[in-house]
C-alpha cells in the first residue's frame, strides 16, 4: 500500500514539473495564472535601470486579473524604465505599476519594439518619481488566434525558408507537413500572409526594396496553430 502511494505521489510530482515548464502553459490565459511569481518565458531579462528587488509578496495587493511578470525595480529618481517583454508579441498586454501607499498604481505603459523591429520588444514607462515598480500583464486573445489542440510546433521544419535579393526582396520556402496553410511574414513594418501549396511551398514577390540591406530579421507565423519562427537572412 505504501509503495502504491509513493508511486502515485511520484507521478503527480513529475507531471507537475512537466506542466509548469511547458511554454504553452506559460502562455496560457491570464485568468489561469493567479500566482504572484515572475514569469521568465513571458518577460525574461532585466530592467534597463534601477535595482532589482523581490516584490512577489507585495503583488498580492494588485488586481486579481493581473499577473506579476517580472522582479520589481527600485529607482531613486524619476525617469524612463523598460523591461524586455517577449510575451507582448503573443497576445500579452503589459502594464507597469508603481507600489505606492500599500497598493499598486498604474503608470502609462508603452509596449513596442525598441528602437524598432530590429531591436527588442519592450514594455516601457516614464516613472513619475523614485519608488518601486514592476511589470504586470494579462493575456488577450489575438485576432485570428486558434487554440492549440496539442499540435507540437517543434515538428515544423523551417529550414527551407529563404529571402532572395534583386531590386526587391523575394520570400520563398517549403514548410514540411503544412500544405494549404496560412503563413504570415513580418519584417519591420511590412507584413504579408501567404498560403502554402499542396507540397507546403510558397512564394512572395514582396516589392520591398533591397536598398543597402545586408541582412534582415524575419518572423514567420503559422497561423493555424500560432507557431512562430524568427530568423536572420543574409541579403547580399
Residue that terminates a domain, selected from 107, 139, 171 = 139
CA distances from 85 to 32, 69, 70, 89, 103 (A): 19, 9, 10, 8, 23
54 occurs within a structural domain:
yes
Instruction: Give the C-alpha separation, 203 to 61, whole Å.
Output: 52
Does residue 128 sit in the same domain as residue 203?
Answer: no
User: Per mean pLDDT, which range of 17-26, 122-131, 170-179 is the poorest?
Assistant: 17-26
Does residue 185 sit in the same domain as residue 224?
Answer: yes
190 occurs within a structural domain:
yes
The pTM of this model reads 0.50
pLDDT digits (tens, 9 = 90+) for 209-219: 888 888 899 99
pLDDT digits (tens, 9 = 90+) for 41-51: 789 899 999 99
Contact 197, 164 (CB under 8 A): no
7 occurs within a structural domain:
no
Does residue 40 sit in the same domain as residue 94?
Answer: yes
Structural domain of 203: 153-234
pLDDT digits (tens, 9 = 90+) for 79-133: 999 999 988 888 889 999 999 999 999 999 999 999 888 889 999 999 999 999 9
Does residue 104 sit in the same domain as residue 82?
Answer: yes
Instruction: Give the C-alpha separation, 178 to 195, whole Å.
Output: 10
Residue 55: all three cell numbers together: 516584490
**Secondary structure (H, E, C), 13-63:** HHHHHHHHHCHHHHCCCHHHCCCCCCCCCCCCCCCCCCEEECCCCHHHHCC
Does residue 126 sit in the same domain as residue 219?
Answer: no
pLDDT, the chain, mean:
80
Amino acid at each position: 500500500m505504501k509503495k502504491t502511494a509513493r508511486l502515485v505521489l511520484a507521478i503527480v510530482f513529475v507531471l507537475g514539473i512537466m506542466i509548469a515548464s511547458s511554454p504553452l502553459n506559460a502562455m496560457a490565459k491570464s485568468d489561469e495564472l493567479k500566482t504572484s511569481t515572475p514569469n521568465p518565458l513571458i518577460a525574461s531579462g532585466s530592467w534597463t535601470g534601477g535595482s532589482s528587488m523581490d516584490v512577489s509578496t507585495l503583488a498580492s495587493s494588485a488586481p486579481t486579473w493581473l499577473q506579476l511578470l517580472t522582479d520589481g525595480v527600485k529607482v531613486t529618481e524619476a525617469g524612463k524604465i523598460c523591461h524586455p517583454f517577449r510575451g507582448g508579441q503573443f497576445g500579452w498586454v503589459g502594464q507597469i505599476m508603481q507600489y505606492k501607499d500599500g497598493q499598486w498604481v498604474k503608470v502609462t505603459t508603452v509596449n513596442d519594439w525598441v528602437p524598432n523591429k530590429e531591436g527588442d520588444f519592450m514594455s516601457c514607462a516614464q516613472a513619475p518619481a523614485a519608488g518601486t515598480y514592476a511589470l504586470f500583464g494579462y493575456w488577450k486573445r489575438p485576432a485570428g488566434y486558434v487554440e492549440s489542440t496539442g499540435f507540437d510546433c517543434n515538428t515544423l521544419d523551417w529550414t527551407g525558408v529563404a529571402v532572395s535579393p534583386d531590386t526587391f526582396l523575394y520570400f520563398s520556402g517549403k514548410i514540411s507537413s503544412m500544405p494549404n496553410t496560412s503563413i504570415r511574414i513580418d519584417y519591420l513594418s511590412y507584413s504579408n500572409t501567404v498560403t502554402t501549396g499542396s507540397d507546403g511551398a510558397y512564394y512572395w514577390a514582396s516589392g520591398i526594396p533591397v536598398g543597402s540591406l545586408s541582412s534582415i530579421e524575419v518572423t514567420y507565423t503559422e497561423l493555424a496553430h500560432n507557431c512562430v519562427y524568427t530568423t536572420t537572412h543574409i541579403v547580399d
